[in-house]
């Protein structure tokens, strides 16, 4: 399905087929280049809804000048095969012309101050472009629930806030990060890494694990967790740290070094020319940690 009219018509028909109860529709928005992390989102969507729609669209609006829009992996045929094997009949894969007939849209969603921090500082305009396409996808598909991966923690925060701020009639479901055995979080960009870089990239999850281990001891501050993570990442070859920060889960703003309480640690680094991100929840009060 490449056209907006098509996806709307097919979903309207599918909704009618669902006898007494209206089938719940789940949307899994993706940019394609599907890996097992995406398939885990599809699985999650299937658990919570009757109809699963996967969108595949490399959204030009969320790439800045000099970013990897042109070389971003596009593997539509392989993606469609994987989704067919996973039993997903509804795939919405529009062209840029279908989504933005006038070229750059005059109306956009703005991500506000948090949208300019962390990933937004490195990629100005990224989150405005991301929220704009996500709002469009929500309006096109009309899902009851949309499933996002926790790996993009700032994206999840901003999408949840957009849904609340604009009273959008759906729920956001967040699926845990899927990792390789080494700890490396799955990402479409991992395919840019050569063997040595892939081994070095393990430093991001190792840094988060070091922080989690400090937190698990109980009575740790944000500053102590940060110091442990920084030591782990600075010891790694080929890894250029961009940011390492502990944020409050409700505001996504940085906490002070003395902070104790629920928190999320975010890390971003360049490995070669590939920008990688990762994050983990830390409870700096009770010592509980989780990968969600
Ligand atoms: O996370 C992504 O792949 C993209 O940011 C999304 C949510 C599909 C919007 O283009």
Considering only CA atoms, which residue is closest to atom 8 of ligand 1?
30
CA distances from 56 to 143, 155, 194, 278 (A): 16, 17, 26, 22
Q: How many angstroms separate the alpha carbon of residue 274 from the centre of ligand 1? A: 18
Q: Are strands 239-247 and 274-283 parallel, antiparallel or unpaired?
A: unpaired
Its pTM stands at 0.94
User: Of these residues, 38, 126, 202, 250, which one is catalytic?
Assistant: 38
Please confirm, yes or no, whether 38 is among the known catalytic residues: yes
Counting ligand 1 atoms within 8 A of each CB, the residue from 38, 41, 133 with the most, and so the one to mutate, is 133
The residue ranges of the chain whose pLDDT is under 70 are 18-22, 286-292
Across the chain, where does the E strand assignment appear?
A: 25-30, 51-56, 90-92, 145-149, 171-175, 239-247, 262-271, 274-283, 289-290
pLDDT recorded at residue 2: 84
**Known binding-site positions for ATP:** 31-38, 149-152, 178, 186-189
How far is 160 from 249, CA to CA, in rounded Å? 12
pLDDT recorded at residue 217: 79
Q: How many angstroms separate the alpha carbon of residue 84 from the centre of ligand 1? A: 21
| Domains, the chain, with CATH or none | 4-175 (3.40.50.620), 190-280 (3.30.1300.10)
User: Does residue 31's CB lie within 6 angstroms of at least one atom of ligand 1?
Assistant: yes
Considering only CA atoms, which residue is closest to atom 5 of ligand 1?
130
User: Does residue 130's CB lie within 6 angstroms of at least one atom of ligand 1?
Assistant: yes
**Known binding-site positions for beta-alanine:** 62
């Amino acid at each position: 399905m490449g056209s907006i009219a098509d996806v709307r018509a097919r979903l309207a028909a599918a909704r009618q087929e669902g006898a007494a109860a209206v089938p719940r529709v789940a949307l899994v928005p993706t940019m394609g280049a599907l890996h097992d992390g995406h398939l885990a989102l599809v699985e999650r969507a299937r658990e919570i809804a009757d109809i699963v729609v996967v969108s595949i669209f490399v959204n030009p609006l969320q790439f800045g000048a000099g970013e990897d829009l042109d070389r971003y992996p596009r593997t539509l045929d392989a993606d469609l095969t994987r989704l067919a094997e996973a039993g997903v009949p509804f795939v919405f894969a529009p062209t840029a012309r279908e989504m933005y007939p006038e070229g750059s849209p005059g109306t956009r969603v703005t991500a506000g101050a948090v949208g300019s921090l962390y990933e937004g500082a490195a990629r100005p305009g990224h989150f405005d472009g991301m929220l704009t396409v996500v709002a469009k996808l929500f309006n096109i598909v009309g899902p009851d629930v949309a499933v996002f991966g926790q790996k993009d923690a700032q994206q999840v925060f901003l999408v949840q806030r957009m849904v609340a701020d604009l009273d959008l009639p759906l729920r956001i479901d967040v699926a845990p990060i899927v990792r390789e055995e080494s700890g490396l979080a799955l990402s479409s960009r991992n395919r840019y890494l050569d063997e040595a870089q892939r081994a070095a990239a393990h430093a991001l999850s190792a840094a988060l694990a070091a922080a989690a281990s400090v937190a698990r001891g109980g009575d740790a501050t944000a500053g102590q967790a940060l110091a442990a993570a920084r030591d782990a990442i600075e010891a790694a070859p080929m890894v250029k740290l961009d940011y390492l920060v502990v944020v409050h889960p409700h505001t996504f703003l940085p906490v002070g070094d003395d902070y104790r309480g629920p928190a999320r640690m975010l890390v971003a680094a360049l490995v070669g020319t590939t920008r990688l991100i990762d994050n983990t929840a830390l409870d700096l009060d009770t010592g509980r940690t989780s990968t969600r």
